[in-house]
Amino acid sequence: MTTNARCIEALGCERFDEENCSTKTSEEQIKVEESVEELFQLFSKKLTIDINAPSLYRGKHVSYLKKCLFYLPNSYECLDASRPWLCYWILHSLELLEETLDAEDRSKIALFIGRCQSPDGGFGGGPGQHPHLAPTYAAVNALCTLGTEEAFSIINRETLQKFLWSVRCANGSFQMHVGGEEDIRGVYCALSVARLTNIYCDKLFENSAKWIISCQTYEGGFAGCPGLEAHGGYAFCGLAALCLLGKEHLCDIRGLLRWVAHRQMRFEGGFQGRTNKLVDGCYSFWQGGAFPLLHKALADEDSTCVSTNWLFHQEALQEYILICCQNSLGGLLDKPGKPRDIYHTCYTLSGLSVAQHCFAGQEKIVGGLQNELARVHPLYNISQEAYINASKFFYNLPPL
Amino acid sequence: MTDSGSEDLSNEPPIIFYKHRPEWDDVTPVPQDDGPNPIVAIAYSELFQDVHDYFRAVLKSGEKSERALQLTDDALDLNPANYTVWQYRREILKHLEKDLQEELTYVRGVIERNAKNYQVWHHRRVIVEWLQDPSHELELTEAILSRDDKNYHAWEHRQWVIRTFKLYDNELEYVDRLLTEDIRNNSAWNQRYFVLNNTSNFPADIIDREILYTIAKIKKVTNNESAWNYLRGVLERSDYGICENSVVKQFCEDLYASGNRSPYLLGFMVEMCEEQIEKGAGDSFYNLEQAVRLCDSLAKEYDTVRKEYWNYIARCLTNKRNSHCNNGSSKALIEEMNSAASDGTIVTSVDE
Ligand SMILES: [Zn+2]
């Protein structure tokens, strides 16, 4: 169950080769590798005295998150239009760390998220703000993570569905808000909340699969809009949205697999968001989370080829997260030298959970069982348990 | 941030809060309604709170005036990601029939300070749409890309302008300039594909030209995944797939013979083998044995971080030949996955 880290000494040959052609891309890459190498070396020394290394600073992360749950410094003013996201990132991180909140706090949080719900349906970035698909997705995920009947009942499903209709475009894509931008995040957020709360209907997503597929690029990943560059965040949205439609086979699955498999960095072990870009902890989920979805699609095609592991290096990703992305005071981050924040805390932990868990009995926990996180449901990125409870609640309600 | 010395140097007038401005006396500020138990409460500065209290008041009353427009300036200065403020600003602009060229100048300033923000670029796009004037957009995006040549929003805006107003003419030259500066700039490679995809149907002469262009770039830097991906992308648009082009075939064989073991070269050769196997036309070089050997060397030596992937590809290739011999254990696996999938869970949970 527990598994060893890669041999640090043998990693030297994985360093970037500039081939006598230094460019901005290669210079930045080499700088990052140097900072990562430094941490790998330190870890290597630590390993000689601590066989459980690398360890997850579970307690530190929990206290950091709990502090943020009630109070955020004014550097978070730039996220004043994303407060349901702040709730979701914190709640989901705590859930993965298997930290439970008391009933009173759960109730307070649910009521606060309720204040972000718009009379027109959907949720805004804060009380009184216009409804927007991104905070709507975050609010629904946060409420499902809370998992109480009070939290589930906050969601007004009738007006939510009306809101989804109001941002739907004829070509099957979705605007983020009325009068707002249109990209692949929209259709994923819409599908995710529609499926979770049992308000999905075929008509609402007519043409959506076709539009999503038009975002798949010659590289194999998905872009935010047709024509743009393949990108980890959008690739996840595209694949997950197709899976939620049950139409993942309409895209080029093998091309997508090749692209996403190649986003794992040979030296750092973490994922980059795009070809020739730098490693970033948050792509641990955006790219890593695609593998469970791909696994099923590939198994449908030919069951004899897939194994019991995901098709990426699960140990290498865990090492990158545990060695390079933890702030010793709690919270996780993009790459060495960057500040911690709750967005990166949420998505590095989500990616860590994916990397730890494949099929039942096939866990691979780097650094020992005390590092194990709760399992995520890769379509929604809420915990498996939260998903099951939410389904029980919403699928016992009458359809709209 | 608290460097008082810099304040003396700036010519900015001291901040007067809205609550202290006589011309705003008639408006009652609306505080944020977080309820009795605020969650994720941000410690707003006094300025932030003041401006937003008045913005909420204006939004509520529906006032569309010069002073309300000015107020959105201040709110967006403090938080350019507030889409509600942007949306309201657009309503005011329309209502007052404001000079939209001025608005373009304004939003350019905001973009220059916040180039990685969805809302500012969306606002720019709406104003350009209203004006039907794309004349500044190529220059603007070029300026932003000169500072960060992979800025996704800038590329998105540039593609939208080029597509909407048919401004493809000099784009390949621009791309070429960027690739000369940084041969690894994947956004520029993607833009090259975008231009050709929208201006041609990839006829044979363009495919041949692009192959030569790309091969020259790969010769310079063989470990450049961007160029290999582009090469595959272009070849996939030909009628013959990736394996039938004699120039590419020869290039790969020569590079391999020279001792080059770039994982992108080896991976490309695996795909050439795969295509040959599928066509049932495996030749003496591109065949199943070669493909499996290449996958094995990638998994064990040249691309070890992707060992699961390469082993999987090798299994698929072998299976293609030996189809119809599914073994029991993998059947059990697929059953487990299908049952997990049918109730919506992708991975099954365990009792521990
Ligand atoms: Zn990140």
Assess B59–A contact: CB distance below 8 Å, yes or no. Answer: yes
Average pLDDT rounded to a whole number, residues B140-146:
98
Task: Name the packing angle between helices B83-96 and B46-61 (round to 10°).
Answer: 50
Q: pLDDT > 70: what percent of chain B?
A: 87
Q: Exposed e or buried b for every residue in B192-214, given b needs 16+ CB within 10 A? A: bbbbbbeeeebeeebbeebbebb
Predicted confidence band of residue B259 (pLDDT cuts 50, 70, 90) = very high
**Residue A134 half-sphere exposure, CB side, CA atoms within 13 Å?**
23
Of B276 and B77, the one with more pLDDT: B77
Give tens-digit pLDDT for A232-255.
999 999 999 999 999 999 999 999
Does the annotation mark A71 as catalytic?
no
If you write DSSP's letter for every residue of A290-322 in order, what string do you get?
Answer: HHHHHHHHHHHH-TTT--SS-SS-HHHHHHIII
Average pLDDT rounded to a whole number, residues A92-113:
98
Give the pLDDT score at A166: 98
Give the pLDDT score at B165: 98
B233 CB neighbours in chain A (<8 A) are: 217-219
DSSP conformational letter for A174: B
pLDDT for A399 beyond 90 = no
In order of A341, B278, B320, the CA distances from A302 in angstroms are 41, 15, 10
Assess B95–A contact: CB distance below 8 Å, yes or no. Answer: no
Average pLDDT rounded to a whole number, residues B309-335:
67
Query: Which DSSP helix (H) or strand (E) runs through B160?
Result: helix B152-165
Give tens-digit pLDDT for A249-280.
999 999 999 999 999 999 999 999 999 999 99
State the best of B113, B305, B308 to mutate against chain A, taking most chain A CBs within 10 Å. Answer: B305
Number of H helices and E strands in chain A, helices first, is: 16, 5
In chain B, whose CA is at the least distance from the CA of A132?
Answer: B83
If you write DSSP's letter for every residue of A264-293 in order, what string do you get?
Answer: B-TTT-SBBSSTT--B-TTHHHHTTTHHHH
Token duo for residue B224: 């450049």
3 state SS of B101? helix
Give the pLDDT score at B10: 55
Of B167 and B278, the one with more pLDDT: B167
pLDDT for B241 beyond 50 = yes
Contact A173, A186 (CB under 8 A): yes
Average pLDDT rounded to a whole number, residues A17-39:
97
Give the pLDDT score at A51: 79
pLDDT for B7 beyond 90 = no
pLDDT for B336 beyond 50 = no
Give tens-digit pLDDT for A184-207.
999 999 999 999 999 999 999 999
Pairwise CB contact (< 8 Å): A112 & B35: yes
Q: Which amino acid makes up residue A116?
A: C
Where in chain B are the domains?
1-98, 112-166
Give the pLDDT score at A360: 75
Token duo for residue B84: 């509600």
- Helix spans in B3-136 (H): 4-9, 46-61, 66-78, 83-96, 100-113, 118-131
Q: pLDDT > 90: what percent of chain A?
A: 90
Average pLDDT rounded to a whole number, residues A373-382:
98
Q: How many CB atoms lie within 10 A of CB B19?
A: 14
Give the pLDDT score at A256: 98
In order of A60, A122, B116, B323, the CA distances from A151 in angstroms are 27, 15, 34, 51
Average pLDDT rounded to a whole number, residues B68-94:
98
Pairwise CB contact (< 8 Å): B37 & A307: no
pLDDT for A177 beyond 50 = yes
Chain Cα centroid distance, residue A119: 29
- A298-302, B96-100, B245-249, B337-341 — most confident range: B96-100
Give the pLDDT score at A141: 98
3 state SS of B13? coil
pLDDT for A48 beyond 90 = no
Nearest to A31 by CA among A15, A12, A48: A15
Give the pLDDT score at B323: 61
Average pLDDT rounded to a whole number, residues A97-116:
97
pLDDT for B41 beyond 70 = yes
Give the pLDDT score at B342: 40
Give the pLDDT score at A2: 59
Separation of alpha carbons B23 and B65, rounded Å: 13
pLDDT for B266 beyond 50 = yes
DSSP conformational letter for B19: G
pLDDT for A384 beyond 50 = yes
pLDDT for A1 beyond 90 = no
Contact A286, A259 (CB under 8 A): no
Give the pLDDT score at A4: 64
Query: Which DSSP helix (H) or strand (E) runs through A376?
Result: strand A376-377
Predicted confidence band of residue B334 (pLDDT cuts 50, 70, 90) = very low
CA dihedral (A178, A181, A187, A188) in degrees, to 10, reads: -110
Separation of alpha carbons A62 and A98, rounded Å: 9
Average pLDDT rounded to a whole number, residues A287-313:
91
Of B13 and A129, the one with more pLDDT: A129
- A236-245, B9-18, B329-338 — most confident range: A236-245
Predicted confidence band of residue B329 (pLDDT cuts 50, 70, 90) = very low
Give the pLDDT score at A303: 79
Task: Tell how far the Cα of B286 is from the centroid of ligand 1, in angstroms.
Answer: 40
pLDDT for B1 beyond 50 = no
Predicted confidence band of residue A379 (pLDDT cuts 50, 70, 90) = very high
Contact A168, A127 (CB under 8 A): no
Nearest to B335 by CA among A296, A385, A391, A250: A296
Contact A256, A239 (CB under 8 A): yes
Task: Tell how far the Cα of A282 is from the centroid of ligand 1, in angstroms.
Answer: 4
Is domain B1-98 classified as CATH 1.25.40? yes
* CA angle in degrees (0–180, nearest 5) for B27-B32-B37: 150
Mean pLDDT of chain A: 96
In order of A48, A61, A386, the CA distances from A370 in angstroms are 19, 14, 22
Phi-psi region of A254 (alpha: psi -120 to 50; beta: other; left: phi over 0): alpha
Of A178, A225, A361, the CB nearest to B156: A225
Give the pLDDT score at B249: 93
In chain A, whose CA is at the least distance from the CA of B160?
Answer: A227
Separation of alpha carbons A184 and A203, rounded Å: 18
In order of A88, A96, A256, A266, A357, the CA distances from A232 in angstroms are 20, 22, 11, 17, 21
Pairwise CB contact (< 8 Å): A25 & B185: yes
Phi, psi of B258 (to 5 degrees): -75, -5
Q: What value does the CA radius of gyration of chain B take, rounded to a whole number of Å?
A: 29
Pairwise CB contact (< 8 Å): A275 & B82: no
Token duo for residue A340: 């911690």
Parallel/antiparallel/unpaired status of strands A376-377 and A382-383: antiparallel
Predicted confidence band of residue A306 (pLDDT cuts 50, 70, 90) = confident
Token duo for residue B119: 């809302």
> Could you tell me which residues are beta bridge partners of residue A2?
A365
Q: pLDDT > 90: what percent of chain B?
A: 79
Contact B76, B82 (CB under 8 A): yes
Average pLDDT rounded to a whole number, residues B173-190:
98
Q: Which amino acid makes up residue A170?
A: A
Beta strands in chain B (DSSP E): 41-42
Separation of alpha carbons A32 and B185, rounded Å: 17
Give the pLDDT score at B344: 37
Pairwise CB contact (< 8 Å): A21 & B183: yes
Give tens-digit pLDDT for A54-98.
999 999 999 999 999 999 999 999 999 999 999 999 999 999 999
The predicted complex's ipTM stands at 0.96
pLDDT for B343 beyond 90 = no
B152 CB neighbours in chain A (<8 A) are: 224, 228-229, 231
pLDDT for B296 beyond 80 = yes
3 state SS of A131? strand
Task: Tell how far the Cα of B147 is from the centroid of ligand 1, in angstroms.
Answer: 20
Nearest-CA distance from B9 to chain A in Å? 24
